[in-house]
Amino acid sequence: MEVYNLQLAEPYNSAVGYSGILVHNSSGSPVPQLTPAQPRQMLGEAIRHVKSLPQEAGRRADAFEALARQIESHSGGAWSAARGAGTDGSVIFLGRQGEGLVVAPNGRIFRGVIGRGIDITPNGLQPNFNSLTPLD
């Protein structure tokens, strides 16, 4: 078994304001307050919001990160998605069970799992877009 040290990007500061709008994320654009529900439903709402944004990789990744923090907070930490960088410049969010959401350099979003669309290589996480499921 080979183990690689995967470097994750530093988390961005985010805070939810009393207005229900997330007031800080790295791109400075507000994101909506998700409807409290089970993590799966909140994730669906988060993905729908990200899909509604312009196809800009940084903006979409930052928005998803801010929304993912809301899901993590609401679930008491039972659900999480760590932000990492793909070898091709993609932003990859990985859950605890190896499931992932990939924001490609061109801004498109995909889902996959470690070993099925997201590979661990000596150079880091490598998305395989032929195996990933497109979400937009």
Q: Give the domain extent around 55.
A: 21-134
Tell whether 11 is covered by a domain: no
Residue 5 CB neighbour total at 10 angstroms: 5
Helix or strand (DSSP H, E) at 57: helix 57-74
Position 59 in a domain: yes
Residue 68 lies in a domain: yes
Does residue 1 form part of some domain?
no
Higher-pLDDT residue of 24 and 116 is: 116
**pLDDT category, 26, cuts 50, 70, 90?**
low
Q: What Cα–Cα distance (Å) separates residue 53 from each residue in 27, 63, 71, 98, 124?
A: 13, 9, 19, 26, 28
Calpha distance 120→114 (Å, rounded): 7
Q: Is 6 part of a structural domain of the chain?
A: no
10 within some domain: no
Number of domains in the chain: 1
What is the tens place of the pLDDT at every residue in 64-115?
999 999 999 999 999 999 999 999 999 999 999 999 999 999 999 999 999 9
pTM of the predicted structure, to 2 decimals = 0.80
pLDDT at 58 over 80: yes
Say if 7 falls within a structural domain: no
The pLDDT-based confidence of 20 (bands split at 50, 70, 90) is very low
Residue 71, number of CB atoms within 10 A of its CB: 23
SS3 content of the chain, % helix, strand, coil (to 5): 25, 30, 50
